[in-house]
Amino acid sequence: MVLSIASRWCTGLALALTIHVAVADDFIVDDIKVEGLSRISPGTVFNYLPITVGDKIDEKRTQTAVRALFKTGFFKDVRLDRDGDVLVVKVVERESIADITFEGNKAIKTEDLEKGLGEAGFAKGEVYNESKMDKVVQELRRQYFSNGKYGVKIEPTITPLDDNTLTIHFKITEGEAARIKEINIIGNETFDDHELLKDFKLTTPTWTSWFSKDDQYSKQKLSGDLETLRSKYQDNGFVDFHVESTQVSITPDKADVYVTINIAEGQQFSIAEVKLAGKLIVDEKELFDRVTTRKGMMFSRKEVTQTTKNITDRLGDEGYAFANVNAIPKLNQANKTVALTYFVDPGQRTYVRRISFNGNAKTRDEVLRREMRQLEGGWISTKNVERSKVRLQRLGYFEEVNVETPAVPGTTDQVDINYTVKERPSGNLLLGLGYSQTQGIIFNTNITQDNFLGSGRSLSFAFNNSDINRTFRLGYLNPYWTIDGVSRGFNIGYQETNAGSGNITQFNSKVISTGVNFGIPISEYNYVSFGASYEKTRIGINPLFLAPQVFRFIVLEGNNFDLVRLTGSYSYDTRNSTLFPTEGMLQTLRAEIAAPVGSLNFYKLDYDSRYFIPLGHDYVFLLKGRVGYGDSYGSTFELPFFENFYGGGPRTVRGYKENSLGPQDQFNQALGGNILLVGNAEMILPVPFLREIKSVRVTAFYDVGNVYATDESFRVAKLRMAAGFSGVWLSPFGMLSISIAQPFHYQSGDRIQKFQFTFGTTF
């Protein structure tokens, strides 16, 4: 008997399948054979076949078995036959997808389209099921709709191959993206449309929309904008604010989109009372100091969230890593006030079982472990965990540092801390050319191993050659000479300088030096260092271009000097990065003295301050100040001219030629001075299309400063000022810095240079 059953599968297409069963009578299965397989293993068939050896076969069970195999989607034909007491399963496999190709996709990358299809179960190597094709096309449409291309056309072409496989080619006609013509907000009385829409990601076309695509409608972007709108109101006391509805309509030609948002503002609420409740592990007064919502303030969801974070972080410092702080508001509709209660549930104190590191293929574990401020076996401190991450970032060996604190399976009070790092090359052989407007063409040879054999120690050799300087330098530094973090370094160098090429009064010098330095951490953020070096200096002059001040010094002191230079410095550093910080402070006080045993006796003091203030939305305000002072003592009558401070240029006051500020000689070349005053205010700006690139920084700046000699009286009128924009790019070939400045408060004779740049001078 041959039994035929028609079955219909429906996923956009109706496909009729015929189930074949050739079983004459009921029988007991003695064995099962599978025929027709090429890619699929027999085990897969047996896994889905609801019949095993020893089962009794009847008409109902055969129908169930065939349906079960069809349901897998692996086969386009299934037949059951009987050979004696052997059940024979004959199948015809569906084709597999050998390749998926796309044509015409420009707005969306091929890998993104493939990823979307993969999530829908449609990828290379998968079994092809024609019933999924409509779903696949809809998934591609969805991706294009999310990019504002509502007129997209997708045509699939299926090409069978000889080996029971096929290729699928999607021809895509993207069409033009629909632009947002209008965004309307209905129901707003407190804030006007402009105030509400300025923080939206979606916008009507602007001059930057060609790049940012912010005028292309996206459901995800609209959801984010609605949350921004909700935050705007709830951060200003409108507790009952809600979005009543949103309507998105598109014109018939699919070119323009209109968005309408209906809102209900509600009433504005102020805070009537703030209380702490629950189990307060930390002193209540200390916790309350971390509360940013106060009686009489307008209710703000942002401040409530910040307060819960502040309290949670403080409890985390005591080991309560999973503390829960809930803000419970009690509304008084009559008085339009809110009584806030922060309920604290610290949970169990959590201990650290193990700290591990991943990704450090080269750097030894001990180099990372010695930066840890969180200890194994002790209770966890979120502050110490985060500080340890910052210290790893500040090493300079890693492009990226991430940390996770998973709970230990089977426990309720233990966690592991896993740091994952991405190493950057720490050994460099750099041969290159650079250019500076002051130094001219610069040839660089720099062999550096910042993390020698993964030990954290650094070795370096450098040779730099420019119009001003020729430098040879060999250095070594062990940042952990002792287990307590005392560093020790050695250096030896040779430098030739042609000062006249750098806008400085005419002279040249040759300096041979060697020295040793030590650094001592006295606390987490405070550091002192000491050093001593021997320098042999020879000064050369050109009588035709000799300044009287230089001539006087050489007559009185000579032109060959042996110096023993002693240095000391103190720094307070809370920055979150050493390269491009976004918050924290750096205060450095440096002193150096030429010891009495040398040919010259002088000293110099230099104070440098930098304060980074994050303002939100990737804006950072930077304040910098520098004060320098030097003088002679003992038998030396004045500070040597080659030790003077200089001002002007990218590192001090931009808009003026480098080293050109301060006292001048008769040839209008800078003499420098023993007093330096510089102040800088900068706004670090987010660049919309470079937000994810960490090697670029753009700022708007205001600079003020000058250099003075001892015999000059300080006058504000002598300060030089400039304002403008600057950019820094840490390229693979070196540091590129550019600034455009408009000097003001300048005087006749000043050497103005509005556009300044350097390239390849810093590695």
The side-by-side arrangement of strands in the sheet containing 179-186 is 179-186, 256-264, 242-250
| CA separation for the pair 508, 506 (Å, rounded) | 7
C-alpha span between 694 and 577 (Å, rounded): 11
Query: What does pTM read for this prediction?
Result: 0.65
Give Cβ neighbours of residue 444 (< 8 Å, ≥ 6 apart).
430, 431, 432, 433, 434, 462, 463, 464, 465, 734, 760, 761, 763
50-108 pLDDT per residue, tens: 888 888 888 888 888 888 888 887 888 888 888 888 888 888 888 888 888 999 888 88
Strands 270-278 and 584-594: unpaired
CA gap 202, 199 in Å, rounded: 9
As a whole number of angstroms, the distance between CA 277 and CA 343 comes to: 5
Return averaged pLDDT per consecutive 10 residues of the chain, 763 residues in all.
31 37 71 85 87 86 87 84 87 85 87 82 79 83 81 88 85 85 92 90 82 79 92 93 92 87 94 92 90 93 94 92 92 92 93 92 88 91 91 83 91 92 63 45 56 77 75 90 91 90 86 96 93 95 88 92 96 87 94 95 96 89 96 93 92 90 88 94 83 79 93 81 91 75 88 78 37
- Counting every residue, how long is the chain? 763
* CA–CA gap between residue 71 and residue 634 (Å, rounded): 99
Alpha-carbon gap, residue 402 to 386, rounded angstroms: 10
The span from the CA of 719 to the CA of 698, in Å, is 25
Measure the CA–CA gap between 189 and 233, rounded to whole angstroms. 11
Alpha helices in 462-614 (DSSP H): 548-557
The pLDDT assigned to 264 comes to: 94
Token pair of 478, please?
A: 């062990």
* Residue 762 to residues 444, 530, 729, Cα–Cα distance (Å): 10, 25, 11
**239 within 8 A of 257, measured Cβ to Cβ:** no
For the sheet with 324-332, list strands across it.
270-278, 337-345, 324-332
CA angle 725, 726, 730 (to 5 degrees): 160
Q: What angle do CA 56, 58, 59 make, to 5 degrees?
A: 160
Residue 22 has a pLDDT of 53
Task: Provide the 8-state DSSP code for 218.
Answer: -
Three-state secondary-structure class, residue 526:
strand
> Which residues 6+ apart lie within 8 Å of 257 measured at CB?
148, 178, 179, 180, 181, 217, 248, 249, 250, 251
465 class by beta-carbon count within 10 Å (0-12 exposed, 13-18 middle, 19+ buried): middle
SS (H, E, C) 698-753: EEEEEEEEEEECCCCCCCHHHCEEEEEEEEEEEECCEEEEEEEEEEECCCCCCCEC
DSSP 3-state of 192: coil
Q: What are phi and psi of 706, to 5 degrees?
A: -175, 175
pLDDT for the residue numbered 131: 74
Calpha distance 293→287 (Å, rounded): 12
Query: By C-alpha distance, which of 119, 110, 70, 64 is closest to 93?
Result: 70
Query: Using the 8-state DSSP alphabet, how is residue 69 labeled?
Result: H
- Amino acid 174: pLDDT: 84
Residues 662 and 503 sit within 8 Å (Cβ to Cβ): no
Enter the tokens of residue 43. 């085990």
pLDDT for the residue numbered 395: 84
**Residue 686 host element (H or E):** none
Q: What's the confidence (pLDDT) of residue 689?
A: 64
Alpha carbon distance 373, 379 (integer Å): 12
> How far is residue 430's CA from residue 462's CA, in Å, rounded to a whole number?
9
Report pLDDT for 763: 32
Q: What domains are there in the chain, each with its CATH number? A: 2-93 (3.10.20.310), 96-173 (3.10.20.310), 179-264 (3.10.20.310), 270-345 (3.10.20.310), 355-423 (3.10.20.310), 427-759 (2.40.160.50)
Question: Would you state the pLDDT for residue 544?
Answer: 85
Say how many Å lie between the first and final Cα of the chain, rounded: 85
Q: How far apart are CA 742 and CA 656, in angstroms?
A: 9
Other C-beta atoms closer than 10 Å to the C-beta of 236 total 18
Beta bridge partners of 397: none
For residue 310, what pLDDT is reported? 93
The two structure tokens encoding residue 490? 């050695």
DSSP letter string, 275-341: EEEE---S-HHHHHTT----TTSBP-HHHHHHHHHHHHHHHHHTT-TT-EEEEEEEEETTTTEEEEE
Phi, psi (degrees; rounded to nearest 5) at 218: -145, 130
Q: CA dist 2 to 28, 29, 79, 341, 350, Å?
A: 19, 18, 10, 76, 70
CA separation for the pair 571, 254 (Å, rounded): 62
Task: Output the pLDDT for position 427.
Answer: 47
Return phi, psi of residue 655, to 5°: 95, -10
Which tokens in the block code for residue 83? 């050979």
CA distances from 315 to 343, 373, 383 (A): 13, 17, 10
Q: pLDDT by residue (tens digit) across 650-705? A: 889 999 988 889 898 888 888 999 999 999 999 999 876 666 666 788 999 999 99
Buried b (16+ CB within 10 A) or exposed e, 705-714: bbbbbeeeee
CA distance 602 to 682: 34
Angle, CA of 616, 622 and 625, to the nearest 5° = 160
CA-to-CA distance for 9 and 103, rounded, in angstroms?
30
Identity (one letter) of the amino acid at 199? D
523-526-532 Cα angle (round to 5): 115
Helix axes 382-394, 301-317, angle to 10 degrees: 90
**Could you tell me the sign of the dihedral formed by the alpha carbons of 28, 33, 36, 37, in that order?**
positive
Q: Which two tokens stand for residue 657?
A: 């030629």
The C-alpha angle 701, 703, 706, rounded to 5 degrees, equals: 165
- CA-closest candidate to residue 540, choices 520, 521, 524, 561: 561
The answer to whether residues 625 and 679 touch, using CB atoms and an 8 Å cutoff, is yes
d(CA 380, CA 313): 11
